[in-house]
Structure 1
Amino acid sequence: MTPLNLVQIALPVPLRRVFDYLWPADSPHCPAGSRVEVPFGNRTLIGIVVSFSDQSDTPREKLKPIKQVIDRTPVLNDELLGLIIWAANYYQSPIGEALQTALPVLLRQGAPLQAQTSTSEQWWQLTTEGLGLPDNALRKAPQQALLLAHLRANKCCPWSKLKEAGYARDTLLRLRGKGLAVEAQEPPPAPTERPLVLNSEQQAALDAISYKHYQTYLLNGATGSGKTEVYLQAIAQLQQQRAGAQTLVLVPEIGLTPQTIGRFKKRFGGTLAVLHSGLNDRERLNSWVRAATGEAQIIVGTRSALFTPMITPGLIIIDEEHDTSFKQQDGFRYSARDLACVRAKSLNIPLILGSATPALESLHNAKMGRFQTLPLQQRANRQAAPLIEVIDTVEHNQGLAIPSLQAIKRHLHQGNQVLVFLNRRGYAPTLKCRDCGTVVCCPNCDARLTLHHTPKHLHCHHCDFQRGVLRSCESCHGRNLEPIGQGTERSEEALAKRFAEFPVWRIDRDSTRNKGALESLFNRINSGEPCILVGTQMLAKGHHFPKVTLAVILDVDGGLLSADFRGPERLGQLITQVAGRSGRGERRGEVILQSQNRDHPLLQQLIHQGYGAFADALLSEREITQMPPYAPIALIRADALNADSPRHFLTELKHQLSALAEQHQVQMLGPMPALMEKKGQRYRHQLQLKAHTRHALQTFLATLSMRLEANKAPRDLRWSIDVDPQDMG
């Protein structure tokens, strides 16, 4: 029997399998990880070659030949391909969708695997002949002579600057035609910053890192303790020991990348590649290629940058490792932090997880000896931790309490900056009729519409529904509509009126929507003039504002009363991180917490004993209740336009799998409505799974996912599996 020449291909479809196709008999096999174009139904899709085989469960006459081989060099090397396939299996995701998530958009669309420079980015320099040409050699071509002199004086110039100087592109091309000028590589900026002198704790942490084998290091450093300097000097040590070794640095938000990139460029020059959603598709592909070829020795990016290829990997760093942004919340629901551990182990290189408020899972791994803790308790400027005061706001239903306003005034008149933190965008979270008590709600979600003033409208931050501001109540037609509660816009307005002599800058997703807006605001803040910063979580993540000496945190009670078991952990991290923005300069910081539960035991423990004791208390609770990290969990989510469909679907699934769950000792809780049952006109229910071991849960999930695919669900029903969920809502 003649063996079949088959190729197994992963396609971007929601099916947990690969697909068999016929490989052309006269074509040599391409490596696994290459892209091919194949027919799929009445469509043509781009897929990834996973393997070749001689056998198929599909009869030969039903197999289709591939249409085109796109790559002869794989876009995903064996290491990355193996990582993504492992992750797809662990997170119960279709392999094709996981592989597509890992690729830049242009590669998904079939673009060639090569960097491309736009005309405005082209750099030009003189050739040896151009440099040696006599001054009067181009006297009959005066424009060419002027351009030659300009390039001789400036050595290497981008076309955009030559154009600004008044030179025509035709003149430049004529110089090239004569062999006097050529396109050049952009000269990398030279390093401008020398390493800082480390304190004893920083030096001990740096000395403990070995670059010869895999080990996860938990750099548990207080805010302002100089974790970034340890990162920088660890990268420098790696490059001294292994010339050309690459480092991958992940940060949670785009907002952190300009600051991080600035530090790294000052220290290492132009050896960086950057990957985040703020770049266009071409810029992302260019960075991907620079990393894959080894041209970029340092790769800085957000969550998806974890899948960047490296030709000489040496170190992975996750900054603010506790941040929930590292967990993808839809599609391929992976955790970049957890997969970084898997990738570092596979590559046999060290991983550094840095945070002032490590996730409870990371602290548990350190206690169990899986991670090595590198403590940094001392602030780099030797300044004491900020003083924290809790103000009882039972009598202050909204806005800033009088003691907070007095403290703001004092710090501003001392020439310092003040940070006011409120994790609610908009002007007010609620618009209410004072006559009949009706609250204006979103028609698509179980949520109230947020009132915005710039521009003036009502907005649902869950489904993006928007409408104009009502002039009268839709229930009683009364005109007595009143904004209730405080958002960043309202806080900005109130503070601008009360402290008119000082600038008030709001930093949230609305005020920083335009490209470069966030960087521009940070430049103003870093000028050092007295000002008030009003913002959301964007201000809480690792920023260094040395002139901020007071942080006021409004409404800290949400996390204490949260229905999500992770709520208290998130609150402790948020308070500690925001408090850490204060007192990073010469003067000791001050923090004011406004709360209606000032005597809550967890809040008091956090303030008086610190995040470490607070986290230990939460870990003890988790152990008693057998919740993560002591028992793994997964959520099966279902949603539909009909309120009963998801509940019936999950109830039937639970019934079908009850015997198997008992066999694997997997507990099934629910189905129950999501914390917000209706969202985007869809009703949501979920089934929680918990097991004693990951192996038991994974074995059960493998059967469950196949059962879910085989079940005939109602047409409008959608389901998903979330392994190690970070959001229980």
Structure 2
Amino acid sequence: MVFWPSVIVATPAHSGVGHTLSYRSEFLLTPGTLVRVPLGTREVLGVVWDCPNAAPEDLNEAKAKNVIGALEGLPPLNARWLRLIRFASQYYQRGLGEVALAALPPQLRELDAAQLARRMKKRAKLATAMPDGDTPASDAADTGHELSEEQAQALAALETAQAPVLLFGATGSGKTEVYLRATRRALDATAPGNVTTQVLVMVPEINLTPQLEARFRERFEPVYGAGAVVCLHSGMTPAQRLASWLAAHTGGARIVLGTRMAIFASMPGLRLIVVDEEHDPSYKSQEGARYSARDLAVYRAKLESDALAGQGQRCLIILGSATPSLESWHAADQGRYLRLAMPARIGGGALPRLRLVDMNHQPKGAVIAPPLLAAMAERIERGEQCLVLLNRRGYAPVLACHECGWKSGCPHCSAYRVFHKLDRTLRCHHCGFTERVPRACPDCGNLDIAPVGRGTEQLEEQIAQLLAGVKRPDGEPPRVARMDADTTRLKGSLETQLAALHSGEVDVLVGTQMIAKGHDFRRITLVAGLNADSALFASDYRAPERLFALLMQAAGRAGRDAAFMGTQGGASEMWIQTWYPQHPLFATLRTHDFPAFATEQLEERESAAMPPYGSQALLRADARTQAAAQAFLNIAADQAAGLPHRDEITLYPAVPLSIQRVANVERAQMLVECASRSELQRFLAAWQPVLHACRSAPEAKGLVRWAVDVDPLTI
């Protein structure tokens, strides 16, 4: 008997290839089976979507190709995973294969049957060596730390929660302990059909993973075995990603820790999803399928709960943050989410006091205001640590010649190359183009070219100079360190830097936003925020929300250890240098009053019909010329007439992106707005064939690609 499986392969939406391709097979293939199929002259990995015994009516059977073979020994991806992929594909207007194949480890596409069999055999050995979960746990694994009253109340509420839970906890309130207790409860639950229960814990950035991983391993490996906790993020090698994915897919891994890519991990026994720092923009992909992992986590929990409803079980989802996204806060106001508040810090510690430094009254050109410098010196002399936040890496944003006006622009992008003093390079942070710093101005030959602006590399150097006369309690000069994407690039460098900070070797830590969230720094008592004003008057309506979250999260790194603060006899502080101390954002930040800030912002959003009171999408176009990119967008807008719900849709004029050229590709976008999410979705679905047809328009010659970005975070 011959079967005609529909297979999804990695084809982007703009390619024009259908969602599934039909093949011939002599065997019945279960939906979700991973197979190798021919595609043109290549052999590619695919996922069986369905497997009818009759060929599609429009298929030429004589030209149909055969399935090369299935990946034997690997269980099929389950129906809930396939439904998640279908929803992500439909909602974010992407190809099925583009979403599904990007979710699978790259090395899986390269393994032959023998190699896969060896890895599966290795996984089976690990599984037999693991405890079954009934092994008595140590006291630390069983109970962890003593719970506060707020933590106990939150855990009690989680037991009966039927809706997604928004855990609104102040920085240092012990949200991680709640995650750990909820994880243990989920893993101890009995699942139907001998399925091993599993938990997915998501963090926004790779640099937060090692610290959280250490806590989960310490708590759960004594109970469930050495392979029970695995990680999934883009910083892993292909072999590591494959091993973690196989462990999750086969049930060997009980806990998966990962970044946004982990939302697509195959976990047949999923019973709990934790999204830590749920407000973070990193959960929204800015390339490829452009999905929101946080929103997909909420949908995935519903899928799993619906499948378990008949057995009286559910998949709980916890969204945790001290500064929730306005979308999640609004959902809680509407009753769609259950909001649990944990406003107090563990041990009774106080949140840091806010000190605003009016730069209008400080010496001209001051890097750090004298009052802030004096406060830092005082902390260092007492053996305390300081954190300085500047969200701009490199030595200086641009190198310039003041004689002729030359600036270090990138020849491939409409952006400046950043000056990195350590290796004497000019580096484009968009396309990666790097050159040595010229000895003289390339245009006029002037030898006096100088950096303009300030990055973390320069700030580290200047702080060390400004604090040169200060002494630590041991009589040694202060030690200043920097933590950003440049200093943590090498494997193990992040862990080394964190260890130096925790041990007290570092007195002042300078860094970008990567140091402002998630880390549990015990001896930091002063946090300083520099250059915060750049986001106060930005054109992006989300800028105030992002700035408030960043500053409040940064402030939360100070004074986390109440016992240490008690021995020091002082209060922790957050200093912000600003030219606009009267700005209303600082008034709510001073009292750490996120509810008041959220209420004010939501009122503004409602009056302007902005999300979450309206829905948005962006149609983006990349082309060889800006004219071709905008022509494609304008033709697409003209051709949208007559589509469903067109009268309810607002199409704005095509405009270049703020950085309109990257790697010699011109970029443009068109904003699409609608009051109704469902109407916007139906319009976008009907618009897809129109967009494919517009590619061939003569005016759009030179178009490289186009993509729809649903629920964009930046416009």
Q: What is the TM-score when the length of structure 1 is the normalising length?
A: 0.87
Match of 1:478 among 432, 446, 454: 446
Q: Aligned partners of 2:117, 2:178: CA distance in 1, in Å? A: 34
Q: Which amino acid aligns with 2:102?
A: T
Answering whether residue 710 of structure 2 is matched by residue 727 of structure 1, we say no
Q: Which residue of 2 aligns with 1:387?
A: 353
Moved more, 567-576 or 668-677: 668-677
Q: Which residue of 2 aligns with 1:431?
A: 399
Q: Which residue of 2 aligns with 1:311?
A: 268
Q: Which residue of 2 aligns with 1:441?
A: 409
Q: Aligned partners of 1:9, 1:628: CA distance in 2, in Å? A: 36
Q: Say if 1:264 and 1:438 are closer, same or farther in 2 by CA, change over 3 A.
A: same
SS at match of 1:116: helix
Q: Which residue of 1 aligns with 2:634?
A: 651
Q: Deviations over 1:3-31 (max 9, x none)?
A: 9732111111224623443423xx33121
SS at match of 2:51: strand
Q: Which residue of 2 aligns with 1:209?
A: 158
Q: Deviations over 1:265-304 (max 9, x none)?
A: 1111232122112222222222222222222211111111
Q: Which amino acid aligns with 1:357?
A: T
Q: Which residue of 2 aligns with 1:291?
A: 248
Moved more, 596-605 or 403-412: 596-605
- Superposed CA RMSD in Å reads 2.5
1:227-246 pair list within 5 angstroms = 227-242=175-190, 244-246=196-198
Q: Say if 1:22 and 1:493 are closer, same or farther in 2 by CA, change over 3 A.
A: closer
Q: CA deviation at 1:414?
A: 1.0
Runs (5+) with no aligned partner, structure 1:
125-182
Q: CA deviation at 1:663?
A: 3.5
Q: Which residue of 2 aligns with 1:545?
A: 521
Q: Deviations over 1:375-430 (max 9, x none)?
A: 01001121111010111224544621212211110110111000011111111112
Q: Which amino acid aligns with 1:581?
A: R
Q: Which amino acid aligns with 1:89?
A: Q
Q: Aligned partners of 1:274, 1:114: CA distance in 2, in Å? A: 22
Give 1 or 2 for the bigger CA radius of gyration. 1
Match of 1:116 among 106, 109, 119: 119
1:123-522 pair list within 5 angstroms = 185=129, 194-210=143-159, 214-242=162-190, 244-269=196-221, 270=226, 271-348=228-305, 349-394=315-360, 395=362, 396-397=364-365, 399-500=367-468, 501-522=477-498
Q: Aligned partners of 1:256, 1:523: CA distance in 2, in Å? A: 14
Answering whether residue 586 of structure 2 is matched by residue 603 of structure 1, we say yes
Q: Which residue of 2 aligns with 1:44?
A: 43
Q: Deviations over 1:508-565 (max 9, x none)?
A: 0111111011011111111134611010111012100010000011000121122212
Q: Say if 1:445 and 1:661 are closer, same or farther in 2 by CA, change over 3 A.
A: farther
Moved more, 704-713 or 348-357: 704-713
SS at match of 2:545: helix
Q: CA deviation at 1:47?
A: 1.4
Q: Deviations over 1:174-201 (max 9, x none)?
A: xxxxxxxxx9948999865651111111
Q: Which amino acid aligns with 2:685?
A: A
Q: Say if 1:644 and 1:22 are closer, same or farther in 2 by CA, change over 3 A.
A: closer
Q: Which amino acid aligns with 1:388?
A: L
Moved more, 93-102 or 281-290: 281-290
Alpha carbons 1:408, 1:550 under 8 Å: kept = yes
Report the number of matched residues. Answer: 664
Alpha carbons 1:31, 1:74 under 8 Å: kept = no
Answering whether residue 557 of structure 2 is matched by residue 581 of structure 1, we say yes
Alpha carbons 2:387, 2:527 under 8 Å: kept = yes
Q: CA deviation at 1:617?
A: 0.9
Alpha carbons 2:73, 2:120 under 8 Å: kept = no
Alpha carbons 1:425, 1:489 under 8 Å: kept = yes
Q: Aligned partners of 1:294, 1:615: CA distance in 2, in Å? A: 40
SS at match of 1:670: coil
Q: Aligned partners of 1:203, 1:389: CA distance in 2, in Å? A: 34
SS at match of 1:366: helix
Q: Aligned partners of 1:17, 1:200: CA distance in 2, in Å? A: 55
Q: Which residue of 2 aligns with 1:131?
A: none
Q: Say if 1:405 and 1:123 are closer, same or farther in 2 by CA, change over 3 A.
A: farther
Q: CA deviation at 1:700?
A: 0.7
Q: Which residue of 2 aligns with 1:709?
A: 692
Q: CA deviation at 1:619?
A: 0.9
Q: Which residue of 2 aligns with 1:29?
A: 28
Q: What is the TM-score when the length of structure 2 is the normalising length?
A: 0.88
Q: Aligned partners of 1:690, 1:468: CA distance in 2, in Å? A: 45
Alpha carbons 2:628, 2:702 under 8 Å: kept = no
Q: Which residue of 2 aligns with 1:168?
A: none
Q: Deviations over 1:91-141 (max 9, x none)?
A: 11111111111111122334555673999x9999xxxxxxxxxxxxxxxxx
Moved more, 659-668 or 531-540: 659-668
SS at match of 1:636: strand
Q: Deviations over 1:337-374 (max 9, x none)?
A: 00001110011111000000101110011011110001
SS at match of 1:477: coil
Q: Which residue of 2 aligns with 1:634?
A: 617
Alpha carbons 1:398, 1:485 under 8 Å: kept = no
Alpha carbons 1:115, 1:285 under 8 Å: kept = no
Q: Aligned partners of 2:118, 2:152: CA distance in 1, in Å? A: 39
Answering whether residue 73 of structure 2 is matched by residue 68 of structure 1, we say no
Q: Which residue of 1 aligns with 2:474?
A: none
Q: CA deviation at 1:691?
A: 0.9
Q: Say if 1:294 and 1:117 are closer, same or farther in 2 by CA, change over 3 A.
A: closer
Alpha carbons 1:20, 1:63 under 8 Å: kept = no
Q: Which amino acid aligns with 1:92?
A: Q
SS at match of 1:419: strand
Runs (5+) with no aligned partner, structure 2:
306-314, 469-476, 566-570
Answering whether residue 575 of structure 2 is matched by residue 592 of structure 1, we say yes
Q: Say if 1:72 and 1:521 are closer, same or farther in 2 by CA, change over 3 A.
A: closer
Q: Aligned partners of 2:121, 2:207: CA distance in 1, in Å? A: 26
Alpha carbons 1:46, 1:110 under 8 Å: kept = no
Q: Aligned partners of 1:504, 1:436: CA distance in 2, in Å? A: 36
Q: CA deviation at 1:222?
A: 0.8
Alpha carbons 2:3, 2:28 under 8 Å: kept = no
Q: Which amino acid aligns with 1:391?
A: V
Moved more, 390-399 or 507-516: 390-399
Moved more, 242-251 or 225-234: 242-251
Q: Deviations over 1:637-686 (max 9, x none)?
A: 01212121111111111111134376451111121111222222222110
Alpha carbons 2:621, 2:703 under 8 Å: kept = no
Q: Aligned partners of 1:478, 1:535: CA distance in 2, in Å? A: 33
Q: Say if 1:186 and 1:199 are closer, same or farther in 2 by CA, change over 3 A.
A: closer
